[in-house]
Structure 1
Amino acid sequence: MAENPQPARYRPRTDILDLGDAFYDAVPAAAFPEHILRFRNDRAAAEVGIVAAADRTPAQAGVQRRVGPAAASVALDPRLRGDTERSISLSDAEWIDHFGRFTPLPASLPEPLALRYHGHQFQSYNPDIGDGRGFLYAQVTDHRDRLLDLGTKGSGQTPYSRFGDGRLTLKGGVREVLATEMLEALNVPTSRSFSLIETGEALTRGDEPSPTRSAVLVRLNHSHVRIGTFQRLAYERDADAMRRLVDYVLTRLYDQTPGSDPAIALFDEAVGRIATLAARFMAAGFVHGVLNTDNINLTGESFDYGPWRFAPTWDAGFTAAYFDHHGLYAYGRQPDAMHWNAMQLAVALRTVVDAPPLIAILETFPERYAKAAAEAVLWRLGVTPRTDADDRALADAVTTALARSRMPIDAFYHQASGGWLPEGEEWAAFEEVRARLSDYRPRSDRSHPYWSDAAPCSLLIDEVEAIWAAIADRDDWSLFDTKVAAIRRMGAALT
């Protein structure tokens, strides 16, 4: 992906309104005491037609800038700043107005919408959830003509907040920015952190030192329609609404024309996307931590990052969430968890279609996962695929060797990129990998300066905590800025 893409046209959308108000509740955004811009993703913004105002000086790496609290709302006048035939430009104050106070974007949604859904949480069904600290703020078309959602995290209470305060800790926001930047660089389908604004509240949390600083995050997703969205309709036995949702996903998200069996077509596409996401997690060494059905969307993007971690080595039992006492979502169990989640979508779709064709598609999950896993490993190795059998054998050899050797995952791929392995005793477990790689051609050369680095760009928990400690103790964002720039540099080398 280009670091500075040409800005797309700003093309607002309101497609979600076509589903009807049974799918959401209009809600107000919280009024925050402060608005301090901490992260502005100008690269992602350009892809939906939003650019920095000419009088704005980008910060180092072009991604993060701090400004003082704004005293008043600054309204965007599209006649002065842009229109739907070109990009619109936002100063930092205008950015804060739209992504901190949530003044509507021109011609997009007139008010925020908290989405309704249910979900299995650690495989226990919960009908009492929904957007509890976020909402859908706007919809836009990106540079590839895809519908995208701008959704929030930490934007205030909604009818689904239950006993929560509807807020997000600044640490949680910083961690989500880092996670999404790293996953994007590692070719994992993911939401993208669009904006992070510190909001000046002191929050109490039971799992970290309190009071702690607050923030509101805006993420860019292809959709916030989840497996749990379908589960709610099945729970309520609302077949008409289920058919509308199926049509919405097929036509707006998958760009397909509904045929005689639209629910079957949807499920077939969804299973492939969910299997691919699971495979990319494994190749990236990533542990999401909370793979509940309300956290799995129909476009196959990872999103809503809480207790995530990258595994230092290939350890099937490695977990990210301290509360995952039984390792349900441990690193090595993620493919099974995603298969189980796909099954819950099939159960929900039984509201509008018979079981046999759904079962037949569900049974293809292991095969689809195996194929996607091989593709993901070869991508990270930086080699061109050969035959399906060869690719799977190579991917299996890599996984076996990583598990046996306990070599750091990132170090292995950094050394092996392009199909070359060093000699030495520490590489003894990789002899089969070396032999199989001899038949492969590099996907690209190693001329990017990143490949001369002594160590790979990684994102293990100790570094994440160090980045946060600098912010918490000294309000020092230099480690954060440097890390985002380093991740993007690695992404450029991997492309």
Structure 2
Amino acid sequence: MDVDVAPASSAPPLVRAPLQWQNRFSRLGGAFYARIAPQPLPAPYWVARSTRLGETLGLPPHWLASEEALAVFAGNAPLAGSAPLASVYGGHQFGHWAGQLGDGRAILLGEVLTPSGEGMELQLKGSGLTPFSRMGDGRAVLRSSIREFLASEAMHALGVPTTRALCIVGSPAPVLRETVETAAVVTRAAPSFLRFGHFEYFAWRGKTEELRALLDYAVTHFYPECERQDVAETACTLLAAVTERTAELLAHWQAVGFCHGVMNTDNMSLLGLTLDYGPFAFLDAFEPGHICNHTDVYGRYAFDRQPEVARWNLYCLAEALLPLIGEPERAVQALTPYPRRFAAAFEARMRAKLGLTDAQPSDGILIDDVLALLVRERVDYTIFWRRLSQHIAGDALAPVRDLFLDRLAFDTWMLRYSERLSSISRRQSAALMLKTNPKYILRKHLAEEVIRAASASDFAPLARLQTVLESPFDEHPGCESLADFPPDWAAQLQLSCSS
């Protein structure tokens, strides 16, 4: 692969930032990527920044707000020490093999070593055409960039493993989607952007040597505990570790009410991170069959199907590793713990939502029954759990009870729940619940409102929403409207793969 794009003779000078680069992925060689520089974005302007992530990376707020930083994260100026590239991968999309994919509108600037000693890759999404853009234009739009920025930082604040977002740079440059929109670039960060699809690509092409190199890279840098003397055993151990992380991630998604929307294998992180925020959503009313992506006409990625889809995707990863593992039975054995690990992780998270500091055999029934009640009554998922938390902390029960039309059914469940709590410190339960059940989530209508304001060059609502999402368990006086029920018009919002 190793396509090099020479800089123009009038290229801007290098920008220096307080970053220490190590760029380990680029050492894999040209079969894994194409070297390419970001394409300049005309008339760039700041839309949003995460000073919290900036501090994690070692970037002081004054630099992150500078004109130099604006030029770098617009793709208009090269960053000293970076090694820009677009990686190649494949993947199954909506259950079908899609062949070669790759970073079609994302360019990896490189990997930095943070002050804490952790490696973090920085990637510009929407930075122009790459050799893997296929029929796309290589750009992202303001709408989707705002959604990804807010979702990344909101999920991080909720404790869900995720890629992060450093900033958004906007531009008046037109981009054609369903309508003409304006361009934007979001800077993403993650320990690694390795996907299941990276392994699928080389397996699909019969490139066993490159597959082995990718395995060695993943194990050496991210799963050192999986290294074994035997290659097949190393691959099996890695597969088992990825299976565990994926099960934990999906349990977290289901517990917090998060719908990904496009769980293709090229959107599955090898590190068990939430990757690629396209048509995602947090549940309003608790509806297990909710489909957040209107492109998903058959509901393959409906909310309640996510755990099983993740398992299917793990089988695709196992198939990609078979040239190294050899025996299919060994790969299947590595995947076997998934259902048990997911169920245990999900029940543990639901116990925490209920403030249960110990485990009892009957807890599963208590959890199933309250979820069934939420489904039958179409109760708002986030508001129910937060009001229940506040009741356990000392507030009246009425605000919780008022969420249900069938008061008798709720009272019956509440009596059982109260009996279960009787042997637990009320203070401990309340403390656990208030740090587990958020008051603020990124609802569709909230994202839509800040997108509309930002499209009119008003970024204050975006900054306000970002502030509450960065600490979603706190109260934030004056921001109660951001935690209220969604308006009726929110039900009409539709999201697709277009971005």
With structure 2 as the length reference, what TM-score do the two structures score?
0.82
Q: How many residues align?
A: 441
**Structure 1 CA distance, aligned partners of 2:268 and 2:422?**
38
Deviation at 1:128?
3.0
1:132 aligns to what SS in structure 2? coil
Taking a change above 3 Å as real, the CA distance of residues 370 and 21 of structure 1, as seen in their structure-2 partners, is same
Deviation at 1:406?
2.0
Partner of residue 330 from structure 2, selected from 354, 357, 360: 357
Query: Which amino acid is the alignment partner of residue 74 of structure 2?
Result: G
CA contact (8 A) 1:271 1:342 kept: yes
CA contact (8 A) 2:248 2:341 kept: yes
Partner of 1:416: 388
**Structure 2 CA distance, aligned partners of 1:442 and 1:144?**
37
Deviation at 1:20?
1.5
2:112 aligns to what SS in structure 1? strand
CA contact (8 A) 1:11 1:48 kept: no
CA contact (8 A) 1:32 1:200 kept: no
Taking a change above 3 Å as real, the CA distance of residues 438 and 475 of structure 1, as seen in their structure-2 partners, is farther
Partner of 1:371: 344
Partner of 1:78: none
**Structure 2 CA distance, aligned partners of 1:418 and 1:482?**
24
Taking a change above 3 Å as real, the CA distance of residues 237 and 447 of structure 1, as seen in their structure-2 partners, is closer
Query: Which amino acid is the alignment partner of residue 221 of structure 2?
Result: R
2:166 aligns to what SS in structure 1? strand
Give matches, 1:123-138, under 5 Å: 123-138=95-110
CA contact (8 A) 2:91 2:196 kept: yes
Deviation at 1:388?
6.9
**Structure 2 CA distance, aligned partners of 1:442 and 1:241?**
56
Taking a change above 3 Å as real, the CA distance of residues 446 and 434 of structure 1, as seen in their structure-2 partners, is closer
List runs of 5+ in structure 2 lacking aligned partners: 1-17, 477-499
Taking a change above 3 Å as real, the CA distance of residues 388 and 15 of structure 1, as seen in their structure-2 partners, is farther
CA contact (8 A) 2:40 2:76 kept: no
Query: Which amino acid is the alignment partner of residue 42 of structure 1?
Result: T
Partner of 1:317: 289
Give matches, 1:323-338, under 5 Å: 323-338=295-310
2:37 is equivalent to residue 28 of structure 1: yes
Deviation at 1:364?
1.2
**Structure 1 CA distance, aligned partners of 2:445 and 2:213?**
46
2:152 is equivalent to residue 152 of structure 1: no
Query: Which amino acid is the alignment partner of residue 462 of structure 1?
Result: H
**Structure 1 CA distance, aligned partners of 2:48 and 2:428?**
32
**Structure 1 CA distance, aligned partners of 2:218 and 2:35?**
21
Q: Which digits, 9 at most, give the CA deviation of each residue in 1:68-121, with x for residues without a partner? A: xxxxxxxxxxxxxxxxxxxxx4552121132112644443x33x1111000000
**Structure 1 CA distance, aligned partners of 2:216 and 2:50?**
32
CA contact (8 A) 2:124 2:188 kept: yes
Deviation at 1:288?
0.8
Partner of residue 386 from structure 1, selected from 315, 336, 358: 358
Partner of 1:467: 450
**Structure 1 CA distance, aligned partners of 2:151 and 2:272?**
16
Taking a change above 3 Å as real, the CA distance of residues 388 and 169 of structure 1, as seen in their structure-2 partners, is farther
Partner of residue 290 from structure 1, selected from 262, 265, 270: 262
**Structure 1 CA distance, aligned partners of 2:157 and 2:221?**
26
With structure 1 as the length reference, what TM-score do the two structures score?
0.83
Partner of 2:202: 233
Query: Which amino acid is the alignment partner of residue 422 of structure 1?
Result: L
Root-mean-square deviation (CA, aligned residues, Å) is 2.7
Query: Which amino acid is the alignment partner of residue 280 of structure 2?
Result: W
Deviation at 1:457?
2.0
CA contact (8 A) 1:113 1:137 kept: yes
CA contact (8 A) 2:41 2:76 kept: no
**Structure 1 CA distance, aligned partners of 2:270 and 2:473?**
25
Deviation at 1:211?
1.7
Deviation at 1:384?
5.6
Partner of 2:277: 305
**Structure 1 CA distance, aligned partners of 2:249 and 2:216?**
23
Give matches, 1:181-196, under 5 Å: 181-196=153-168
Taking a change above 3 Å as real, the CA distance of residues 379 and 349 of structure 1, as seen in their structure-2 partners, is same
Taking a change above 3 Å as real, the CA distance of residues 267 and 182 of structure 1, as seen in their structure-2 partners, is same
Q: Which digits, 9 at most, give the CA deviation of each residue in 1:170-208, with x for residues without a partner? A: 0111111221222222221111111100022111112xx
